[in-house]
Structure 1
Amino acid sequence: YRELSMQHQAEEDAWKRLLEEYGKKYPEEAGRLQEFLDRDNQAKLDAISDFWKKGEKPEATRSISGQVIQTIKEAIPTLIGGSADLAPSNKTHMDGVTDFSAEHPEGRNLHFGVREMAMSAIANGMLLHGGCTTYCATFFVFSDYTKPMARLASIMGIPQIFVFTHDSIGVGEDGPTHEPVEQLAMFRAMPNFHAYRPCDATEVQAAWYSALTSPHTPTAIILTRQNLTPMEGSSKEALRGGYILEDYEGLPQLILIASGSEVELAHQAAQILQKEGIKVRVVSMPCMDLFEEQEEAYQEKVLPREVKKRVAIEALSPLGLDRYTGIDGATIGMTSFGASAPYKELFPYFGFTAEHIVEVAKGIL
């Protein structure tokens, strides 16, 4: 190993000398190369005047994510990525940008084909090489095939970006083979990994901002097929993983915790309970992993220990949500696989309605 180390050190020193000579001869190009290698995406994002914008209409978070990609593609020229043959559904194709091929090595849209594990490995390799900001995409249920490479990204500490769409029973008619249940719990269990499940445009933007500026942690951005209503209380606080979406004066009697498509249901349930005189706080938890990294004082502010009556709602496996609900709270989640039907029928069938949340909440109060 010592001999190899000395050999490669000599090669690295030679490369550095070459780079120094290149910089003297081509200062502009050398500066551009160094900019690519530095990966300072935060400054580029902060320079985009319309990066942060509230949603104005019900829209699928996968579509909003696609809009974010179009917004950042010029500001971050190192952005390169694609999908495992699902780009139109994942909304990951950069419009007006050349597709990568042997004839067009400058292309930034990658067509990986139906091979999720290879796609993720390729993206990891490009990121390890440097000079690229990479992302790869597929349906959330197929994230099982990307998991080994996501795990390696976590171990190596590289900020890979995974875009997973069709995130729950909201997939609908494709049925249980295409409806994720256990996948979110799998990613939440992985050390050094951020799994974001945003509820609207603001939270999608936060997920991308967090992913693009993360120095050593990979991120999954988990998105809906169906339209979601923009939340008035959503904010950049989503960058902290969890935050108070709506609240009432004084200490709440009940806290509703949700992510993604269920945040709207939690909001609706809170409105019903508030009319009955029950003080309710709604907490949006788009990224549990990131919330756990916040200082204890912030976590206590959002989820005060004194308030033990809590209900957590996700149209996925409830595994792990009990860390926030405790023995005095309740969880509403998927304890079986899904079914084949329109999502507007599936959500009530599996108990994901404001009325059922109200019923469960009253049961613990």
Structure 2
Amino acid sequence: MNINQKSVDALRILSADQIQKANSGHPGLPLGAAPAAYELWAKHMNHNPKNPNWENRDRFVLSAGHGSALLYSLLHLFNYEGMTIDELKNFRQFGHLTPGHPEYGHTVGVESTTGPLGAGVSTAVGMAMAEAHLAAKFNKEGYPVVDHYTYAMTGDGCLMEGISYEALSLAGTLKLDKLIVLYDSNNITIEGDTDFAFTEDVAKRFDAFGFQVQTVEDGNDLETIGKAIENAKAEKNKPSLIICKTLIGYGSPAKVGKASAHGEPLGVDNVKEMREFLGWESQEAFEVPADVYANYESIANEGSKKEEEWNAMFERYSKEFPEARKEWDEFFSDIDIDKIMNSDEYWNYEDKAMATRAVSGNIINILKDLYPNMVGGSADLAPSNKTEMKDEGFFSATDRSGRNIHFGVREMAMTAITNGIYLHGGLKSFCATFFVFSDFMKPMIRLAALMGLPVAYVLTHDSIGVGEDGPTHEPVEQLAMLRSIPNLNVFRPADYTETAVAWASAMKSEAKPTAIVLTRQNLPQIEGSSKDAFKGAYVISEAKDKDNIDLIILASGSEVELAVAAQKEIETTGKSVRVVSVPCMEIFESQDSQYKESVLPSGVRARLAVEAANPMPWYKYVGIDGDVVGMTTFGASAPAKVLFEHFGFTTENVVEKAMNLINR
């Protein structure tokens, strides 16, 4: 047996052994797709295990994340940091580097968290866009300092999910010629043959997208797979799809081609039979011949040489173009938040009523000058979301330098792509749509939170203030939904200062995404609004007798104005009322107990929260003695003023609720 075939079979054996020892996992893809993975990683993909974060490495995303045992086997054999044989032996066990699905930031060599099908390949589109934009920005004649490919390995399930349609359609439109998708086509899903639910001609679909499409009839044919990859790299006008016809569970005579190979261990006897079928010389689990390790080490050393060559070129580039090198370092460094904090333009505003979406638009156009690596766009709503960066052009098939992105009506893919742009490195990304459509974004926002990506999601038209468009477009439960996601900051600012704080917080965030939820309607600038909003909640209007508070009113966004108006009316009766603005519950929860007590003294149990949304998140603050003026039904189609009155968001109703609490 030649060394290449032994190296392929090592991936199969190690994957099967991991899954069998854990008695949990998905052997089907690793066994069938091992040849394509080996051919790519060994012969065509530039990567350096000694420096996994080399800027010009090729990116690889295992979109079919259930096949994680294959990726861990690759990382082990190439000797990526931490991926020891003991880690493989602890596949899917607590506290180890080999979780059931690959996790970015947890395992070295994993470029993106994957698992939800279609998410990975969609994220890869963002990585390819980032590569193209940075190449346009930094490359000089003779100095291709940004010149790499993004590879995604996907399966039938990924291509059934709607998000992949969205993302890959855009990839074709943008002619992302350095995106190469390897499709493990084995015609099997958990329930059986794909013909039950998936009979479309995938090749024709991708041809319609604008992809180069190739088919490898035998997924075990390394030479043909290699030629297809090189053909894809030679294509300079289209992204590429390589359809690899494989047999799920190949190598296991008892399981090959069966649905049971997809998501359950092969069984001890079948693993033994697989070793015999493949001609594997050892029956010991996790035992790999020395010549296989030596082969992978030799390939890894070639990767090191590739980086050394790039480093030498980059040094010459830096000497010849010192300003470009300075800007490069700025792009690939952490955000300097002092640029915001020390900017008079950023914090100064005109004292007039403005929708917070309009405020955000002004801020974005200050930020884009402070941070030239900021890129983003909207799901066909930039004029409404106010997210266009003026005079910065649009990223397209003919202009890679544009910093604005036309995502089209593709909210879920937009979010995954935005995540991918950040994951690539070098760029700070954001995206936008109407708040009600965060329902479409939620799975990818969740992944960003899981990965700790400091991306920003701009969500406008935040309440029944949408008005005449009616309940389909009026978000009611979405704030509660987003606030339920761990590691996500959700800002709903009340005016200019709080919106500026929201954006500053999003820019300086290092390990979590931020949702910035903004109004359609104009709001006044509130007298007590301040940078204390950085603490998540603060006293925006103090009680006339702060040592003897009768009631605390809590509110966010457009309802802070209403809370202050109610406070003034209640205090004419001699009662003492504090108003607390809560632009970001998550940040407030991170404050120490002393600060939280200073804002919401535990001795004041008469508390009223006001927010034009589902009341659920507020009960932890108002307690059993408090009350919430919120939305417990869907909205309606009518002018915003009519709706706010109908649903009780009036000074009169808030005052009545407040007095009931005080008098209780």
Q: Which has the higher contact order (CA 8 A, sep 6+)?
A: 1
For residue 77 of structure 2, what is the aligned residue in structure 1? 3
Shift, 1:348, TM fit: 1.0
Equivalent residue for 2:586, pick from 266, 269, 289: 289
Equivalent residue for 1:317, pick from 614, 618, 621: 614
SS in 1 for 2:422: helix
Does 1:217 find its partner at 2:291?
no
Q: Which amino acid aligns with 1:330?
A: D
CA RMSD of the aligned region, Å?
Answer: 1.6
SS in 2 for 1:81: strand
Q: Which amino acid aligns with 2:651?
A: A
Shift, 1:28, TM fit: 2.9
2-structure distance, mates of 1:317, 1:268: 22
Q: Which stretch has the larger CA shift, 34-43 or 265-274?
A: 34-43
Q: Which stretch has the larger CA shift, 94-103 or 319-328?
A: 94-103
Distance 1:275 1:55, change over 3 A: farther
Q: How does 1:187-206 map to 2 (within 5 A)?
A: 187-206=482-501
Equivalent pair of 1:265/1:353 in contact (CA under 8 Å): yes
Q: How does 1:218-297 map to 2 (within 5 A)?
A: 218-248=513-543, 249=545, 250-297=547-594
Q: How does 1:1-365 map to 2 (within 5 A)?
A: 1-4=75-78, 5=80, 7=300, 10=304, 14=308, 15-16=310-311, 18-20=313-315, 22-248=317-543, 249=545, 250-365=547-662
SS in 1 for 2:516: strand
Distance 1:11 1:82, change over 3 A: farther
Which structure has the larger Rg?
2
Equivalent pair of 1:39/1:133 in contact (CA under 8 Å): no
> How does the TM-score come out when normalised to structure 1?
0.96
Distance 1:39 1:104, change over 3 A: farther
1-structure distance, mates of 2:536, 2:576: 23
Distance 1:30 1:255, change over 3 A: same
Distance 1:360 1:291, change over 3 A: same
2-structure distance, mates of 1:23, 1:290: 41
Q: Which amino acid aligns with 1:86?
A: L
SS in 1 for 2:436: helix
2-structure distance, mates of 1:59, 1:28: 39
Q: Which amino acid aligns with 2:575?
A: I
Gaps of 5+ in 2: 1-74, 81-296
2-structure distance, mates of 1:11, 1:169: 59
Shift, 1:20, TM fit: 4.4
2-structure distance, mates of 1:118, 1:251: 52
Equivalent pair of 1:55/1:200 in contact (CA under 8 Å): no
Equivalent pair of 2:379/2:407 in contact (CA under 8 Å): yes
Shift, 1:24, TM fit: 4.4
2-structure distance, mates of 1:270, 1:169: 23
Shift, 1:79, TM fit: 1.1
Equivalent pair of 1:246/1:282 in contact (CA under 8 Å): yes
How many pairs align? Answer: 365
Between the two proteins, what is the percent identity of the paired residues? Answer: 51
2-structure distance, mates of 1:343, 1:203: 23
Shift, 1:322, TM fit: 0.4
Shift, 1:343, TM fit: 0.6
1-structure distance, mates of 2:311, 2:503: 33
1-structure distance, mates of 2:482, 2:312: 43
2-structure distance, mates of 1:311, 1:126: 42
Q: Which stretch has the larger CA shift, 16-25 or 159-168?
A: 16-25
> How does the TM-score come out when normalised to structure 2?
0.54
1-structure distance, mates of 2:495, 2:311: 46
SS in 2 for 1:162: strand
Shift, 1:39, TM fit: 3.1
Q: Which stretch has the larger CA shift, 169-178 or 17-26?
A: 17-26
Distance 1:140 1:91, change over 3 A: same
2-structure distance, mates of 1:289, 1:12: 44
Equivalent pair of 2:335/2:507 in contact (CA under 8 Å): no
Shift, 1:299, TM fit: 0.6
1-structure distance, mates of 2:393, 2:452: 30
Q: Which stretch has the larger CA shift, 78-87 or 2-11?
A: 2-11
Shift, 1:281, TM fit: 0.3
Equivalent pair of 2:567/2:577 in contact (CA under 8 Å): yes
Equivalent pair of 1:39/1:131 in contact (CA under 8 Å): no
1-structure distance, mates of 2:306, 2:449: 26
SS in 2 for 1:63: helix
Equivalent pair of 2:356/2:499 in contact (CA under 8 Å): yes
Equivalent pair of 2:492/2:557 in contact (CA under 8 Å): yes
